[in-house]
Structure 1
Amino acid sequence: MGDNNQLYYLRRHVPRARGPVLEIGSKDYGSTVDFRSVYRDQPYVGLDLADGRNVDVVHDLTQGTGPLPLDHFDLAICCSVLEHVDRPWEFARHVSRVVRPGGRLYMSVPWVWRFHAYPDDYFRFSWRGIEKLFPDFDWSERYYSTNVDDEFISIDEFRDADNRMALLHEVDGGARKHLPYLMVNMLGTRRHEAPAAG
């Protein structure tokens, strides 16, 4: 489950799937938007660590792929999840194994955000960090989104966009720089020639 900007991103950049869809972190907490309705015409699996509304499979992807078939999903959606994963390199390896060659991965992660433990909060990720965690994917459609509805800034066009949006606040001894809340949104396509690391 995600927020409005993540839903806008999906509708613009991945309006259709050509096969099964996996949503990682699918549990509906009552304050999130529904991605499942975008892909009604495809088989859809909602995966989460805990059972609940919109959860089809309960599994921890740091522990392996579990019941998920390998090289299967045409689209995997992972929004606001990776910062809560204590071993993101293991998680990334297993996510990569379940996306089929030519399949896509929509990743949305906080770059600048407050601490928020669900159940805990470990990391912040740059777009370069995501590329390193998922080396079997070619990445495109890189955008920052803010907490403002439908506000997206191209990372490829404005490489220092996060810094250019900073605000300065005068304090004793100088000016304190404040970066806005920013999410990194990226679309990866798994390369055909690169089998996902086992």
Structure 2
Amino acid sequence: MYHIDSSEITPETRLIQGWFFDHAKRVKKCYFDDGRKRIRLEGHGLPSPDLEDTFGNLANHCRFAFRLPKDAQGYIELRHKIGRATVIPVNASGNRIQVKTHHFVNRRYFGRFEVAESSRIKKVVISMAGRRSLKAVTLRRGDFYFEPKTRIFLLHVNVKQGWQIDFLNLFFFFDDGTIEAVENIGQRARETTGAYLLVMDFFHWLNNSSSPLTVVEIGSRARSGNNSRGRVAAHHRFVGVDIKAGENVDLIADAHQLSDAIQAQSVDVVFGLSVFEHLAMPWKVALELNRILKVGGRAMFMTHQAWPLHDAPFDFWRYSRESWHAIFNRSTGFKVLRAEVGEDGRILSEIQTADTLFASDSICYLASSVLVEKISDTQLSWDVPVEEVYQGNYPK
């Protein structure tokens, strides 16, 4: 994500200041491109302690200040180490577009957006990030629907050869001369949903805690290249726990037997991302969390309310907003501080009958998150070993 803080025009130059951060994308080089030439820019990687407080220690140098010619027209291109790029128009207006729907269906792209103010959209340019060989598509009034009163913008367009959903960028040109770039659309849409906001708020709270805390991540192994260690401020003690050895793993342990590996009441914070659905007995894990957490300690988990079967046969559960209260409650020694779902979806049956037609009309949620606090020790126990419930090894 990026944000333009200011764009000041002086007698000789235009100074653009702002920030860009994505924990999975580190900026390698920056360029200015006016369509005729590309110029290397200096001025990225400036200190950003305010962002570090919000996003963790990976966001410690994410601000930029670029000086361009006064009459510059074109784009600032932030090239990532992984090969992709973020494009920011020189006269960008900031984050004014909120993504509501973004998908390909039957070779058609469907986008639904909410515009933060009632400015009229003049045209929209569709391009593919990092795909200069693919010609950009320009849509003008009459090719899209925009209702200024409701601020809803609808875009339906045929998918061109070579388009990929993850690389799709949209540039909104407004009548007032400003431009809004919407890149990394899917991730941007996710970050506006309740379940993802809960996660972001959790890390903001964690990294704003001045006291050093012991922080445990369950399921920390970087199987998909995602490493959460960098999202935790450096003054905290991070312990990555996983059932198998690997990158980002400090302690090999089964979540169902955490108290065998971690001292009782020694942990301040526990979190896990996309792991709770893979726990055979999540209620037993809740009791183990109660044993290792201090009273007043917190735990945050993000998983799914609806999601395709994955890592089978080790995919056991799905969680609604209400289901968290069945696991984390007074009897297990917890209080639910916040529970959220998000990332709307629909279920489409391959075989439609009168009983299944309704499914595509009802909303499900791909994400489900919870934040809980330990309020007391629990007297409950569940002495059934996981080996009696399921025999087999966790997937590699």
Structure 2 length as normaliser, TM-score?
0.40
The 8 Å contact of residues 269 and 293 in structure 2, kept in 1 or not, is answered as yes
Please list the CA deviations of residues 162-197 of structure 1 after superposition, one character each: whole Å capped at 9, or x if unmatched. xxx56597x675844233442111211111xx2134
Match of 2:373 in 1: 189
Distance in 2 between the 1:168 and 1:79 partners? 23
Which residue of 110, 115, 137 corresponds with 2:334? 137
- What do the CA deviations read for 1:57-95 (whole angstroms, capped 9, x no partner)? 001121351221111211100221111111222111101
For 2:338 and 2:315, locate their aligned partners in 1 and report how far apart those are by CA, in whole Å: 26
TM-score by length of 1: 0.75
Cross-structure match for 1:162: none
Does the aligned pair in 2 maintain the 1:84–1:118 contact within 8 Å?
Answer: no
CA distance in 1, matches of 2:275, 2:207: 21
Q: CA RMSD in A?
A: 3.0
Aligned mates of 1:51, 1:166 — CA distance in 2 = 34
Consecutive unaligned residues in structure 1, runs of 5 or more: 147-164
| SS in structure 1 of the partner of residue 310 of structure 2 | coil
Q: For 1:64 and 1:34, locate their aligned partners in 2 and report how far apart those are by CA, in whole Å.
A: 19
Q: Which residue of 1 aligns with 2:52?
A: none
Cα contact 2:305–2:367 (8 A) shared by 1: yes
Provide the residue aligned with 1:125 in structure 2: 319
- SS at 1:120's partner residue? coil
Q: Which runs of 5+ in 2 are unaligned?
A: 1-23, 25-186, 382-396
Per-residue CA distance 1:121-180 (angstroms, 9 max, x = gap): 01112232222212222212322232xxxxxxxxxxxxxxxxxx56597x6758442334
Task: Look up the equivalent residue of 1:10 and give its one-letter code.
Answer: F
Percent identity over the alignment? 22
For 2:319 and 2:215, the matched residues in 1 are separated by 24
Q: Which residue of 2 aligns with 1:177?
A: 359
CA contact (8 A) 1:23 1:78 kept: yes
Distance 2:204 2:258 in 1: 31
- Secondary structure, counterpart of 1:31 in structure 2: coil
Instruction: Rate the CA distance shift 1:20–1:36 in 2: closer, same or farther, 3 A.
Output: farther
- Quote the Cα distance in structure 2 between the aligned partners of 1:72 and 1:118: 34
Measure the CA separation in 2 of the matches of 1:187 and 1:51.
27
Distance in 2, Cα, partners of 1:51 & 1:119:
20
CA distance in 2 between counterparts of 1:118 and 1:58 reads 22
RCO (CA 8 Å, sep 6+): is it higher in 1 or 2? 1
